Amino acid sequence: MLSKLLDPESVAVVGASPKQGSVGYVILENLVTRFGKKVFPINPKYDEVELWGRVIKFYRSISEVPDPVDVVVIATPAPTVPKVLEEAGIKGVKAAVIVSSGFSEAGNTELENWVKAVAKQYGVRVLGPNCIGVYNAYSGFDTVFLPAERAGRPPPGPLALISQSGAVAAAIMDWAARRRLGLGFLVNYGNKADITETELLEGFAADDRVKVITIYIEGFKYPGEARQFLETAKKIAAKKPVVAYKAGRGGAAQRAVKSHTAAMAGSYEMYHGLFQQAGVIEASSVREMFDMAKALAMQPTPRGRRTLVLTDSGGMGIQAVDALEALGLEVPEIPESVAKELKRELLPFAAVANPVDVTGSTTDEHYKIVLDALLPTPLFDMALVVTLMQVPGLTKNLADYLIDAKKYGKPIVVVNFGGSELVQRFEEVLEGNGIPVYPTPDRAAKALWALYKYGEIRKRL
């Protein structure tokens, strides 16, 4: 069923509209201009309308659609939804995205229960209601009712996002698009009258295109959900990283959660313990969730916690050591015999201890010398490399040396800060070749911690 929902071949949009600015217009535009497969607009007010340089045929109801329909997107007033869902069920549609709001989140639990009953009667699996639905960057299937110029669409990539909040999901989409972060799938499940985050976890676990699953969660809604989540996440985390951010940690925030998606926030301690048992890596913010997910998608897990810090800035090196040690990672000193060998090839005033500070007079080759001398040895399990490209001796060739160091099979993350064209191009080349880049040492350190943490989770599970 989830394949029909996430990767359909045909879609009907009930509530489709030629009126610019309306929800039905944006969803229809998304699908007609980017989906590239069968799209059937449903609205009895229209017959044929010229839109986006083509003539679009509208149907009076879903029963008039001549072809099979995999999924129906419903964007009509809440009271009309049960009838629409019944028509879809009679048609043989197996999945529905209910964009409409005005259900349990607004106190209208009876209407939501009616929707659930109709869906169960006809075997239609429901995402929502009160959601933005699905974004599939691979196929262009996109039910997000926010215009692309306001909420950018990210490129295909190894990350998937499951979000309880539609607005948060849309903001993440836009943020990821501006950074060219590969977010292949996004699903917002809203009130989860039927499909839950646990089922979506299972769906993404089975998709080889997804390397890391991220979850924004506010709270479970029904008794027994926590247990189901624990059992499912535990199986998945043994094979594929799952990173979660739990919102609604304090009392006032928990009240907001209840009014947002009618979820039971519960105590934060319960969720924290649940994530630990399940092997889910917990983030303290949305940004941190994606910082860690990016590293987990790009880099191997380390054998241990010993970290090499290589920098052209003493200050950045100190910050990196502070951040790593605060997370429980080790920054061991380089043995004197190895340090002597390095000193022969580096500048006389370079600091060879760990951090290794090649100084602001460095060249690309000095980075290569250190990486080739230390990463193949058992002294270090991973590396945090600071590359402030403002230094005159550094060029774009440094990216090639860092990429080449991947051959040692150890995680590498890079700290690169600045706004010049050289800096931006340098970052693009690194990330395009699987080396994650961060603007500050603390964010890079947390990414390495996530890699170490996931290695420990896999050993335990």
In terms of domains, do 409 and 305 share one?
yes
Task: Find all residues with CB under 8 Å of 140, minimum gap 6, and list them.
Answer: 30, 31, 34, 35, 36
Q: What is the pLDDT of residue 253?
A: 46
In terms of domains, do 216 and 228 share one?
yes
Q: Is 392 exposed, middle or buried (0-12, 13-18, 19+ CB in 10 A)?
A: exposed
Task: Please give the average per-residue pLDDT across 162-176, as a whole number.
Answer: 95
Q: What is the pLDDT of residue 381?
A: 98
Decide if 42 contacts 73 (C-beta within 8 A).
no
In terms of domains, do 347 and 251 share one?
no
In terms of domains, do 145 and 280 share one?
yes
From start to end of 291-446, where are the E strands?
A: 307-311, 351-352, 356-357, 382-386, 412-415, 437-438
Q: What is the pLDDT of residue 221?
A: 83
- Where among 276, 296, 316 does a domain terminate? 296
Helical (H) or strand (E) element with 255: helix 251-261
Task: Identify any residues that bridge with 97 across adjacent strands, giving them in sequence order.
Answer: 73, 127
In terms of domains, do 336 and 200 share one?
no
In terms of domains, do 251 and 198 share one?
yes
Q: What is the pLDDT of residue 268?
A: 87
Q: SS3 of 51, please?
A: strand
CATH number at residue 65: 3.40.50.261
Answer whether residue 106 shows pLDDT above 60.
yes
- Where among 296, 324, 347 does a domain terminate? 296
Task: Identify any residues that bridge with 415 across adjacent strands, giving them in sequence order.
Answer: 386, 438
At 199, is the pLDDT very low, low, confident or very high (cuts 50, 70, 90)?
very high
Q: SS3 of 177, please?
A: helix
Question: How far, in Å, CA of 74 to CA of 214, rounded?
Answer: 26
pLDDT tens figures, 83-103: 999 999 999 999 999 999 999
Decide if 346 contacts 365 (C-beta within 8 A).
no
In terms of domains, do 209 and 349 share one?
no
In terms of domains, do 283 and 314 share one?
no
- Where among 274, 296, 318 does a domain terminate? 296
Instruction: Domain of residue 80: give its range.
Output: 2-296
In terms of domains, do 267 and 368 share one?
no
Task: Please give the average per-residue pLDDT across 7-24, as a whole number.
Answer: 97
In terms of domains, do 252 and 398 share one?
no
Task: Find all residues with CB under 8 Å of 368, minimum gap 6, and list them.
Answer: 401, 404, 405
- Predicted structure pTM score: 0.94
DSSP 76: S
pLDDT tens figures, 248-295: 876 554 555 455 445 554 688 999 999 999 999 999 999 999 999 999
Number of domains in the chain: 2
Task: Please give the average per-residue pLDDT across 233-251, as a whole number.
Answer: 91
The C-alpha angle with vertex 446 and arms to 444 and 449, in degrees rounded to 5, equals 115
Q: What is the pLDDT of residue 260?
A: 45
In terms of domains, do 252 and 304 share one?
no
Task: Please give the average per-residue pLDDT across 5-14, as a whole number.
Answer: 97
